[in-house]
Amino acid sequence: MWRRLRSRFLALAACVTLAVAPPPLDARSAPTSPNGQQGEFPVGEVVERVVSHSDSTQTYALYLPSKYRTDREWPVLYAMDPRGRALVPLSRFREAAERFGYIVLSSYNTASDTAPGPNRIALEAMLGDTETRLSADFRRLYLAGFSGTARASWSFAYQLVGHVAGVIGCGAGLPHGAFLDLSVAQYGTPFAFYGAVGTTDFNYDEMWRLGGRLENLGFPHRIEYFEGPHTWPSEEILHRALAWMELQAMRVGLRPTDRVLIDSLFASRMEQAETAEKAGDPLRAFLDYEESTRLFTGLQDVSVARDRAARLRRSREVRAALAAHDRSVDRHFEYLRELEEFMQEVRFVEEPPDLEKSLDRLRIRELQREAGKTDDRYESLSAVRRLESAWVQLSFYQPRDYMRNGEPARALALLEVAEVIRPNEPFVCYSRAQALAQLGRSEDAVEALECAAGATRLSGDRLSSDPRLAPLRDHPAFRAFVDRLDEISG
């Protein structure tokens, strides 16, 4: 079955990826009957590290639900953490996987902010092991990612069309440069999407717009917004994500209808909406009632949810909240354009701007004041997200590129702005130390390392072997700092 799809992977991937599509995922013949080996892995407990049979360089954590057996096929969830922390998503999916009967494989080799290669290799290895070592339903594969691996999940899902039934994307939307409208027009909606994003996540506004686009396209989806930053959502939210996927599977005939489960999930969703309404959050209540109506139509009597959603939509509070929210989203994207213009200016001017000019140009002080407002929640959260968008570019992406290109002065200019946005962040301090060392500012570099050591595990070996800190190696203050670290760790 996999082999027959090989020729279609590239064309499908081109719809949701950059102009150059990656090669197809490894083509294997999907099993037509259960072939997992009973007893190879324990059930009902996490197997922390499994070496892949199909690629010994790849490892993953595994969970089999306690009711797992090999005389039937089971849905499979592949979790891809952007830093290869396999146990982080697995621990948050575990309870739901147990309840709904999912096999979970979570890779130690996935990564974000890199070329797609590592994620592709990791997924291929897990797919290979799923075929040869587990009893899987190859019509019901699910991909879960966070940040960059959430984006990659869209590409992989289109390449595995007919096998991936759903994508759970946290903290990010489509791959950069994606053409979702075209993909839906050509290939329909072959899988369902459940998104989750924090209210202070720098990708929140992107996810809000994605929800509107998916709604217009009739793409089966739900996006849940939770209080918090750029992170994997809670166990509770991921439990709701798998529950939602169960309902989608019933709707399209991938699993039998379960009346008890439907009634339970509908009651839970209605309780969630009622709680939001009682707590004075009519917008969230409206979105929950509207989602309950859409999700359970045809499976449950949704008249109460539909009527409450219609009532709230007409209310002054919800209309005002939607308008304020949309304005805040527009402001966010306007600021992203300003940020891009600033970064272009830094790239091409002879000398990078000084700190005060950069702070003024990016309105950092103004945004910090807006973020502290207590009388306008949407404006405050919007300001926090704009600051976060600036911070992630100025603390990581742009300095990383400048340091690679041998331009430490430009890297340092941006890192100093990041330091004002979020003072004493250890990895920013360490990056500043590297740039300062390259610029010959040894005393300042050692001071920055003192900041980095305050909350990170630095070792003398790491500092002594870092090529960007090489100019410091003979400096007395640096040697004393390294010796102090060695004493602490020794």
pLDDT confidence tier of residue 96, bands split at 50, 70 and 90: very high
Mean pLDDT for 158-174 is: 94
Q: Alpha-carbon distance 490 to 33, whole Å?
A: 56
So what's the pLDDT on residue 26? 46
Mean pLDDT for 359-386 is: 93
Between 217 and 149, the more confident residue is 149
So what's the pLDDT on residue 489? 65
- Indicate the SS3 state at residue 138: strand
Q: Which of 35, 414, 381 is nearest to 200 (CA)?
A: 381
Q: Is the pLDDT of residue 38 over 50?
A: yes
Select the highest-mean-pLDDT range: 65-74, 211-220, 457-466: 65-74
So what's the pLDDT on residue 114? 66
So what's the pLDDT on residue 2? 43
Start-to-end C-alpha separation, the chain: 56
Q: Alpha-carbon distance 398 to 467, whole Å?
A: 19
Mean pLDDT for 380-385 is: 95
Between 117 and 57, the more confident residue is 57
Q: Is the pLDDT of residue 64 over 80?
A: yes
Contacts made by residues 451-455, CB under 8 angstroms, sequence distance 24+: 451/424, 451/426, 452/426, 452/427, 453/426, 453/481, 453/485, 454/424, 454/426, 454/429, 455/424, 455/426
So what's the pLDDT on residue 189? 75
Q: Is the pLDDT of residue 191 over 80?
A: yes
Q: Which of 44, 100, 39, 95 is nearest to 70 (CA)?
A: 39
DSSP 8-state code for residue 21: P
Lowest pLDDT segment from 8-12, 57-61, 73-77, 370-374: 8-12
Is residue 141 within 8 A of residue 163, CB to CB? The reply is yes
Predicted model pTM: 0.88
Residue pLDDT, tens place only, 309-361: 999 999 999 999 889 888 999 999 999 999 999 999 999 998 899 999 999 99
Mean pLDDT for 460-478 is: 92
Using a pLDDT cut of 70, give the percent of the chain over it.
89
Q: Which of 204, 205, 143, 198 is nearest to 16 (CA)?
A: 143
